[in-house]
Chain A
């Protein structure tokens, strides 16, 4: 038996996960109708919402098309890149 005892204290810290943005960037190749089509197909957006996002890509050069947890954001980026849209992932501000 030792003279000193070791005290183990466990602390649980909970913090909110930072949301992640899925960003589609403009390019001179992908047709506007195709971008709308892909956003409809991948996210299940209705045509009106997909068209608004597509116009944002075209006019502003980029659009945040989805925000949420990282794992799902990565899945969506992979899907969009598989459809050849210039897509990246960023931490939401």
Chain B
């Protein structure tokens, strides 16, 4: 798989085979990991009872959950559409500038879910020696997602490359 910035300010990912599409599909699978509490609930748990955690859980968490879900759905649909066009073989998928936030979010959701499940810890402290294959594979996926995020940050999301937005 190769990824490169486009002249239009987006990112293009070229898959080389069906397995590469599987890696991209795993973004959604990892983000939806049912073995951990979902991201919106984990965010809600950060608001303590003393400052209104119950209300936060009732009114804010559902909105967060819906937002995260919509971003995953958008990215999932883009991946499935690209697989369909490529007929499962080698082919490109584009991340245009106006699609960068759902993509970054989906990759982040996947990495946060993997971290929640496997507790890799900070990058500088990670050692894969003696680690079981499932965790090792999960770590490699997390590294791959992180590499795409870095490309998005450097080439697509820098303030000079995005249209001005109201704070």
Which residues of A does B touch, CB under 8 Å?
Answer: 25, 27-31, 33-34, 37, 40-44, 47, 77-78, 81-84, 86-91
Select one of A37, A41, A86 contacting B153, CB under 8 A. Answer: A37
A-B contact sample (6 more), CB < 8 A, given A31-B150, A86-B46: A27-B115, A33-B150, A47-B159, A78-B64, A81-B60, A86-B43
Would A81 and B64 count as touching, CB distance under 8 A?
yes
Please determine whether A82 and B46 come into contact, CB atoms closer than 8 angstroms: no
In the complex, A30→B122 CA distance in Å?
10
A84 & B39 in contact (Cβ 8 Å cutoff): yes
Most buried by A among B48, B123, B167: B167
Q: Give A77's nearest chain B residue, CB to CB.
A: B47
Given contacts A34-B149, A84-B105, contact A29 B111 (CB under 8 A): yes
In the bound complex, residues from chain B placing their C-beta under 8 Å from that of A37 are 153, 157, 159
Residues of B within 8 A of A87 (CB): 43, 46
A37 to B64, CA, bound (A): 20
B153→A34 contact, CB < 8 A: yes
CB distance from B146 to the nearest CB of A (A): 7
Cβ-based interface call for B51 (8 A): yes
Which residues of B approach A to under 8 Å, CB–CB? Answer: 39, 43, 46-48, 51-52, 60, 63-64, 67, 104-105, 108-109, 111-112, 115, 120-123, 146, 149-150, 153-154, 157, 159, 165, 167
How far is B49's CA from A88's CA once the two chains are assembled, in angstroms?
Answer: 12
Q: Which residues of the partner chain B approach A44 to less than 8 Å between Cβ atoms?
A: 167
Give me the 8 closest cross-chain CB pairs, A-B, nearest first.
A44-B167, A81-B43, A88-B46, A28-B122, A33-B153, A29-B111, A89-B51, A29-B115
B140 CB, min distance to chain A CBs, angstroms: 16
Assess the A91–B51 pair: CB atoms within 8 A: yes
The distance from the CB of B50 to the nearest CB of chain A, in whole angstroms, is: 8
State how many angstroms separate the Cβ of B78 from the closest Cβ of chain A. Answer: 19
Min CB distance A60 to B, Å, is: 15
Residues of A within 8 A of B150 (CB): 31, 33
Chain A residues lying within 8 Å of B121, measured Cβ to Cβ, are: 28
A91 and B50 alpha carbons, distance in the complex (Å) = 10
Can you list 24 A-B contacts with CB-CB less than 8 angstroms, sorted by A residue number? A25-B46, A27-B112, A27-B115, A28-B115, A28-B122, A28-B123, A31-B150, A31-B153, A33-B153, A33-B154, A34-B104, A37-B159, A47-B159, A77-B47, A81-B46, A83-B105, A84-B112, A88-B46, A88-B47, A88-B48, A89-B47, A89-B51, A90-B51, A91-B51
